[in-house]
Amino acid sequence: MKIILLGPPGAGKGTQAKSISRKYSIPHISTGDIFRQNISLSTELGKEAKKYIDKGQLVPDELTISIVKDRLLKDDCKKGFLLDGYPRTVKQAEALDGFLAEHGSRLNLALLIAVPREFILERMTGRRVCPSCGASYHIKFNPPQQEGICDVCGSTIIQREDDTPETVSNRLDIYDKQTQPLIDYYKDKNLLSVVDGTYSINNVFKQISERLDLIK
Ligand code: ADP
Ligand code: ADP
Ligand code: ZN
């Protein structure tokens, strides 16, 4: 199973990715999580990525592409993977196709979690994340069992610095311009599957499972 998750910021990609990864035993690869881990460790990559992330801009393609290639070469990706937040540009998508083809492989599915813009701001400003394990919560739609504490690992959950209304609006504009074209890109390759992301977290997971059970 080689799958990518598409959808605007706040669509629920990270939330669904955790459940998909568990149910289908494939590694969840989130470029956002990789960048955030590097930022918290103050690596060179983290310092470079932070310049863009803080402004809600995309990290340059060259850098992002090379990080994903390195990750996909790891052993745990041999039987499949779930990419969350990558690709975000046509150039990244082409690089992924090229890389997989070089390794005699290809994508099985591009899963779009469709959520209209009017839902996004509330999802993003209410989002809380675990800095240790990357779990995503929402103060209203998906609160942790104990307020402020990650259900999975017990760490204190935080609000992401780039989840402010101004940055969110910037990220949505960039999504429309740079990432939206990927919908046609994958439709043309007959890989696109769309689920309605406006329903509850459980309902969206059910829609996704129905699609994934077909290619398992
Ligand atoms: P969200 O969950 O809101 O969609 P992510 O956690 O996926 O956000 O990404 C956070 C930030 O990391 C993005 O706003 C962008 O700056 C950077 N980023 C993540 N993935 C990519 C990518 N594939 N290409 C360029 N920048 C990326
Ligand atoms: P993405 O990775 O696409 O940026 P997240 O998975 O982090 O999105 O979800 C964004 C926010 O919306 C989080 O606070 C999450 O708990 C919440 N959320 C995710 N899916 C749903 C849903 N189906 N209904 C309501 N809130 C949701
Ligand atoms: Zn955690």
> Per-residue pLDDT tens for 158-194?
999 999 998 999 999 999 999 999 999 999 999 999 9
pLDDT score of 215: 86
Give me the DSSP letters along 64-130.
HHHHHHHHHTSGGGTT-EEEES---SHHHHHHHHHHHHHTT----EEEEEE--HHHHHHHHHTEEE-
H or E segment to which residue 173 belongs: helix 165-174
Which protein residue's CA is at the shortest distance from atom 1 of ligand 1? 9
- Atom index in ligand 1 nearest the CA of residue 60 equals 25
Average pLDDT over every residue of 185-209: 98
Residue 48 CA to residue 58 CA, distance in Å, equals 11
Asked whether residue 129 carries a pLDDT value surpassing 90, the answer given is yes
> How high is the pLDDT of residue 4?
98
Instruction: State percent of the chain over pLDDT 90.
Output: 95
* Pairing state between β 28-30 and 127-129: unpaired
CATH number of the 2-116+171-215 domain: 3.40.50.300
Residue 59 near residue 53, CB atoms below 8 Å: yes
pTM recorded for the entire structure: 0.95
Instruction: Return the ligand 2 atom nearest residue 126 CA.
Output: 14
User: Among residues 113, 117, 97, which one has the least CA distance to residue 105?
Assistant: 97
Cβ–ligand 2 distance for 88 under 6 Å, the answer no
Task: Please name the residues in contact with 113: beta carbons below 8 A apart, sequence gap of 6 or more.
Answer: 5, 6, 7, 11, 12, 13, 16, 195, 197, 204
Domain residue spans in the chain?
2-116+171-215
Q: Which of 2, 13, 50, 128 is catalytic?
A: 13
For residue 141, what are the CA distances in angstroms to 80, 199, 202, 207?
30, 11, 11, 18
By three-state DSSP, how is residue 10 classified? coil
The CA radius of gyration of the chain, in Å to the nearest whole number, is 16
User: Using a 6 Å cutoff on CB, does residue 142 contact ligand 2?
Assistant: yes
Does 59 count as an annotated binding residue? yes
Q: How confident is the model at residue 198 (pLDDT cuts 50, 70, 90)?
A: very high
From the candidates 2, 18, 50, 127, give the one annotated as an active-site residue. Answer: 127
Mean pLDDT of 3-9: 97
- What is the DSSP-derived secondary structure letter of residue 8? -
Name the helix (H) or strand (E) containing 28: strand 28-30
Task: Answer yes or no: is pLDDT of 216 > 80.
Answer: no
pLDDT digits 0-9 by tens, 31-74: 999 999 999 999 999 999 999 999 999 999 999 999 999 999 99
Summarised one tens digit per residue, pLDDT across range 95-126 is 999 999 999 999 999 999 999 999 999 999 99
